[in-house]
Amino acid sequence: MENKTGGPYRHRMGEKKITLLTKDRKPLANTEVTVKQTKHRFLFGCGAFESVPLANGELEGEKKELAEEIFNKFFKIFNYCTLPFYWARFEPVPGKPDTQSLKKAAEWLVSKGCTLKGHPLCWHTLTAPWLLDYTNAEILQMQLNRIRRDVANFAGVIDIWDVINEVVIMPVFNKYDNGITRICRELGRIRLVREVFRAAKKANPDAVLLINDFETSESYEILIEGCLEAGIPIDAIGIQSHMHQGYWGVEKTLEILERFSRFKLPIHFTENTLVSGHLMPPEIVDLNDYVVDSWPTTPEGEERQAREIVLHYKTLFTHPAVESITYWNFVDGGWLGAPAGLLRKDGTTKPSYEELSRLINEEWWTHEKTYVTDENGSLIVSGFLGEYEIYAKDALIGGFQLSRDDSEEKIILNS
């Protein structure tokens, strides 16, 4: 708690006067109580695509056991999950979306205390190939209908969405023809962003809607400015940082944070990757072009990854604009076969997992503390923002949230 009034994490902390009253409204005076943090307000996230087969009973035997072991470790550090809504996979046959299994996975993750994000609603990559059979006007309508349907179907379970992904290159993407590049080229970037955000907002007015990109250049900055000037309700700026070719370093990260924080919007670091094997060669422009038979994790790589993950998370957690960091991905061998996991393929933890756990569960965690209430039943608590529980003689008697803006709260107890 030494950082309460200063230090690098002061914007992550709060202080609050809690007054405990018995059920007949009398102060719980001069009583010893213990306060425990139970959840971070900050969103420490990770892709959780594997929850879909696990929650839907599609895994058996050793595979199931491994997946369960992996998710046990997952829930020990993460409170935030990204779920896959890639259109090509979510709705391989028009009109037959995989809503059921996604819903089951989502509800399971929520039951584990996680907040969820759907990713992505509009993207030229992995979009439905059958869009190519339609006119641009029809493609746009189907894209908007898809957004309305999925955002409404998951409202209350998934209330954060990557509405549109990688718009900077969307109209000039030329690896293969696809419906989304076609309509983005015709409408222009800003008009397409407006349409998809409008549809998502209407389907779930309370949702947090993100624009997301791997571009961190002035192009993305100018695009966001254009969208905001056009009145598009962007709630948060998503920045990808797939660092297969090497850690960005603190300086570059701070420079990007400075440029994107001028919009006074929350920043989500949506896709953070640091490998624990050899680095991808610098001459690769589209990361997808790097295809290798095997990309092993190495002891030296794991040490480097652990050092870098600490620096990276500290840099982001220190910046007031950042509201979430999502790691990409939890276990080795995901996207591009990269050894980017915090766990190895066999589910054992790497040093990066231990370091991240130390930050999230120790350095940035408010340790359990015992207070004695005053004659009015009050105590002043301070700590990292998040959810807390109050115990008296080992019995849970109440709970509260610590946020930046609150100063006082009365809690009426059940006894």
Q: How far is the CB of 189 from its own copies (least distance, A)?
A: 6
Residue from 1, 132, 152, 222 binding its own copies (CB under 8 A) = 222
Q: How far is the CB of 69 from its own copies (least distance, A)?
A: 45
Helix count and strand count (H, E) for the chain: 11, 15
Q: Is 58 in the site for its own copies (CB under 8 A)?
A: no
Stretch near its own copies under the rule CB under 8 A, chosen from 36-44, 147-155, 205-213, 223-231: 223-231
φ and ψ at residue 354, rounded to 5 degrees:
-65, -40
- Give the pairing of strands 115-119 and 160-165: parallel
Q: Is 10 in the site for its own copies (CB under 8 A)?
A: no
Q: Report the Cα–Cα distance between both ends of the chain, in Å, rounded.
A: 31
How far apart CA 229 and CA 210 sit, in angstroms, is: 16
Number of residues that bind its own copies (CB under 8 A): 17
Q: Pick out residues in 181-210 that bind its own copies (CB under 8 A).
A: 188-191
Burial profile 211-230: b = 16 or more Cβ within 10 angstroms, e = fewer: bbbbebeeebbebbeebbee
Q: Pick out residues in 238-267 that bind its own copies (CB under 8 A).
A: 262
The answer to whether the CB of 344 falls within 8 A of the CB of 295 is: no
Q: Pick out residues in 266-295 that bind its own copies (CB under 8 A).
A: none
Q: Report the residue number, 88 or 168, with the smaller CB distance to its own copies.
A: 168
Q: Report the residue number, 33 or 184, with the smaller CB distance to its own copies.
A: 184
Q: Is 124 in the site for its own copies (CB under 8 A)?
A: no
Q: Report the residue number, 109 or 184, with the smaller CB distance to its own copies.
A: 184
Q: Is 168 in the site for its own copies (CB under 8 A)?
A: yes
Q: How far is the CB of 252 from its own copies (least distance, A)?
A: 15
The answer to whether the CB of 271 falls within 8 A of the CB of 241 is: yes
Q: Report the residue number, 111 or 174, with the smaller CB distance to its own copies.
A: 174
Residue 370: burial class (beta carbons within 10 Å; 0-12, 13-18, 19+): exposed
| Angle, vertex CA 122, rays to CA 120 and CA 126, nearest 5 | 75
Q: Is 226 in the site for its own copies (CB under 8 A)?
A: yes
Residue from 65, 225, 289, 368 binding its own copies (CB under 8 A) = 225
* Three-state secondary-structure class, residue 212: strand
Phi-psi region at 168: left, alpha or beta (left = phi > 0; alpha = psi -120 to 50):
alpha
Q: How far is the CB of 263 from its own copies (least distance, A)?
A: 9
Q: Which residue ranges make up the site for its own copies (CB under 8 A)?
A: 168, 172, 188-191, 217-219, 222-223, 225-227, 229-230, 262
